[in-house]
Amino acid sequence: MTGRAHIDGTWEPRPAARWEDAFLGGNGRHGAMVHGDPADDRVVVNHHTLVRPNGSERTRPPELADRLERLRDALLAGDTGAGEGFGDGRPLVWVQPFHPAFQTRIRPAPAPVSAPGEPVSPSGYRRSVDFATGEITAVCEGRRSEVFVSRADDVIVQRVTGPGRAVDLTLDHALPGAPARLAIGRGTALFPGGGRLALRVGYPDSEAAYTGVSVVRADGGKVSVSGEGIRVEGARSLLVLTRVRRHAGGLDLAAEYAALPDGDYQALLGRHLALHRPAFERAALTLDADPAERALPGSELTRLPNSPALLERLFAAGRYHLLSSSGVLPPRLTGLWTGDWDTAWSGAFTTNANLNLQIASAAAAALPEVSLAHAALVYGQLDDWRDNARAVFGARGIVAPSHTDGESGHTRHFQRAYPLHLWTAGADWLLAPLLEHAETSGVPDPRLDEALHEAALFYEDFLTRTAPDGTVALVPSYSPENRPANASWVTVNATMDLAAARHALTAPADRSPAHPASARRRDLAARLPEFAVNADGALAEWAWPGLEENYDHRHLSHLYPVWPLDAVNPYDTPELAAAAHRALELRGSENDSAHGHLHHALVAARLRDGARASAALNAVLSGDFFHDSLMSAHYPGRDVYNADAAHALPAAVIESLVQSTPHRLVLLPAPLTGCPSGELRGIRTRFGAVLNLRWSADGTATAVLRPTRAARVDVRTGSRSAFTDSSAGLASAPLELTAGVDRVLRLGPR
């Protein structure tokens, strides 16, 4: 690996001993986890739709609207525990858990050299993943295995060259945590030069099932049936194509086989590269890194938390994994991958923090594929969100759930400490990334305008109570997943809810001023209380008298107006920005969840605190959060496989270097310590320009803007007082941009 290859890929000198260390590929539908063991070549097959039925798919939102007014009366009267038990008596039901399908196995016949989980490391071994192509390669003593997941043909492709004298191919369902009562059916058939394998897996107590099919094509040699699989002897190479489908009832296997694509490995790869490579290469980060550190395998590089080479590689890996896990749906808590049926938190989409943090870089880092995947999840569930609003609150409009398996959008998560069915900010929070995508791309989307309208409609019906000072009260209210130090979890005027309500009421009015409801909604928004500053000088998590702060918590929900809304910022609201910064200073990390640290870094960058953003990022880089695959964990010490850190890291880096709104550009707002020079290319701004930024250790920097549409932009430079517009000879003036006309901005030393 030379040049950018050291950055745009990673490698290891040994096979993966754990599924967490398997290299990852994906096309947003199928996922592959490649172990790279020549003695037992395993590829774990995943698919976004594989969720195990557990009864939750039939669960409706609780019918609570007829009890809502009594709860409101009690909370407004000062009963701080009134919300405890506000449910319909049902037990907690998790969403359908995400699970792996099976693993394809290619083993020397008649038996593997080593048992699974004990991979060999022969001389000359190397496995690698190329982020720019999506190819995962393992090379060892004349044997070469190559795997990619085609974006063009929606199939997992594996080629093995020099497979050896004889190998057996099987589809193995017996992965960790697999239920004992799975109904297993197999099929094997031969054709000239190859064979077909089928594996049908039926879920316990369900009509649902999934079926995997593989076609094996041998270049030379002999193919025969062997046990539950196929034996290939004397072949020069093998080509294996694999798909899986979740279904109810029967499946036409002949049609599934016929739908697999034709062509050799190079033809299949060429069609895939035409889609994958341009997407990955739209944006890139290059730092002043030590070439020797760039050349290290990932497992050694992650032991150097202060290395710019590590940040380069994790930035590239984060964009690669985010792109690879986004398609029919956005990334789950585990992205698109798991090797175990027992996934933490059901491998769900946790929407009150994690999902938005994972996709935070989508618009800026030039990955519209991720934004469109998020749109598919949101717009596909709006009917369920309407049910939530009606059942729980007796309101029109939409209320989003805190957890979803990708199928149902009904809210059903109730625990005493997690009354997430009463979280009303979710729709606005989940629509915010789609609004950013629309501003960045400049492409109108009527679905977004309608969804924003429905979010506002909910607050028109919900905001019917007033506080003693005459402002509108948000009641009941909930700040995920925290509680006041002196009250229960269900409260009044949680700051996140307050920010969401104000944004939901004004965003559609800003986009459609002539809409008949716009004036009415602006008036209602004006009656909302202001954000509160507490006795510590910090932005309060609850804007309601008497509620005390609980600072040591992993969530930063109350800083929603800072990131991503930008309603509180150092330029327009400096006093509130100072209060938000004080809140960030006082915030603990509780259990060191990765998402808490990355959320902290994003907010700190918005508040122009590079030292704090760096410290939060360094807590992840130095906390042993990354597996050899460069996928991350939820807790330090690589505890609980989880994509939050891996996917959110690029956003934290970008926010420290470039921030934009439809009318503002901020350059180098919070430069990270340890990265005195570098280049960030291909960043998309919310005013419709592509930006390349180069900065140097002497404090100078150059930004090149390539506008795609006309805009008038206020340029800010973090702690710098001025910039020079080399294109027009201007300094510190609003920038007038014209589509197709590049502008070069030069920044002097601090």
**pLDDT, tens digit, 9 for 90 and up, residues 135-175:** 999 999 889 999 999 999 999 999 999 987 899 999 999 99
Q: Is the pLDDT of residue 506 over 50?
A: yes
Tell me what percent of the residues of the chain surpass a pLDDT of 90: 89
For residue 116, what pLDDT is reported?
Answer: 54
Band of the pLDDT at 733, cuts 50, 70, 90? Answer: low
Give the torsion sign (CA, 513, 519, 525, 530). Answer: positive
Instruction: At 56, give phi and psi (nearest 5°).
Output: -70, -20
Length of the chain: 750
Write out pLDDT tens, residues 684-717. 999 999 999 999 999 899 999 999 999 999 999 8
Pick from 434, 269, 293: nearest CA to 368: 434
Band of the pLDDT at 6, cuts 50, 70, 90? Answer: confident
Q: Is the pLDDT of residue 37 over 90?
A: yes
Number of Cβ within a 10 Å radius of residue 438: 20
d(CA 659, CA 569): 12
The residue among 85 and 600 whose pLDDT is bigger is 600
Angle between helices 426-441 and 446-462 (to 10 degrees): 150
Write out pLDDT tens, residues 357-369. 999 999 999 999 9
Q: Is the pLDDT of residue 720 over 70?
A: no
Pick from 63, 84, 89: nearest CA to 491: 84
Instruction: At 389, give phi and psi (nearest 5°).
Output: -60, -45
Structure tokens at 518: 């716009």
d(CA 275, CA 430): 27
Instruction: At 335, give phi and psi (nearest 5°).
Output: 70, -115
For residue 4, what pLDDT is reported?
Answer: 76
For residue 352, what pLDDT is reported?
Answer: 96
Write out pLDDT tens, residues 82-99. 999 898 888 888 999 999
d(CA 344, CA 98): 9
Write out pLDDT tens, residues 646-661. 999 999 999 999 999 9
307 neighbors 4 (Cβ within 8 angstroms)? no
d(CA 723, CA 291): 33
d(CA 704, CA 727): 10
d(CA 605, CA 660): 12
305 neighbors 316 (Cβ within 8 angstroms)? no
Q: What's at 275, amino acid-wise?
A: L
Task: Match 């964009």 to its residue by tokens.
Answer: 319
Structure tokens at 341: 């049926």
Three-state secondary structure call for residue 244: strand
Query: Mean pLDDT over all residues of the chain?
Result: 94
For residue 413, what pLDDT is reported?
Answer: 76
Band of the pLDDT at 417, cuts 50, 70, 90? Answer: confident
Three-state secondary structure call for residue 276: helix
Q: Is the pLDDT of residue 381 over 60?
A: yes
Q: Is the pLDDT of residue 534 over 50?
A: yes
Three-state secondary structure call for residue 165: coil
For residue 412, what pLDDT is reported?
Answer: 82
Given phi > 0 = left and psi -120 to 50 = alpha, else beta, which region is 611?
alpha
Question: What's the mean pLDDT in 347-363?
Answer: 98
Element (H, E) at 508: helix 495-511
For residue 729, what pLDDT is reported?
Answer: 38
What pairs with residue 332 in β-bridges?
335
d(CA 163, CA 233): 9
d(CA 307, CA 587): 27
Number of Cβ within a 10 Å radius of residue 700: 14
Indicate the pairing of strand 229-233 with strand 143-149. Answer: unpaired
Q: Is the pLDDT of residue 730 over 90?
A: no
Question: What's the mean pLDDT in 706-734?
Answer: 71
d(CA 331, CA 358): 7
Q: Is the pLDDT of residue 2 over 50?
A: no
Q: What's at 216, amino acid-wise?
A: V
Q: How far apart are the first and last CA of the chain?
A: 37
Question: What's the mean pLDDT in 263-267?
Answer: 97
Q: What is the pTM of this model?
A: 0.96
* Domains of the chain (ranges, CATH numbers): 3-51+96-281 (2.70.98.50), 56-91+347-548 (1.50.10.10), 678-747 (2.60.40)
d(CA 281, CA 219): 34
Band of the pLDDT at 558, cuts 50, 70, 90? Answer: very high
Question: What's the mean pLDDT in 254-269?
Answer: 96
Cα dihedral 425, 381, 662, 529, rounded to 10, equals -20
Query: Which residues are CB-contacts of 678 (< 8 A; sequence separation ≥ 6)?
Result: 285, 286, 287, 288, 308, 694, 695
Three-state secondary structure call for residue 493: coil
What pairs with residue 635 in β-bridges?
639
d(CA 439, CA 482): 32
Q: Is the pLDDT of residue 599 over 90?
A: yes
Task: Match 């029967």 to its residue by tokens.
Answer: 250
For residue 118, what pLDDT is reported?
Answer: 53
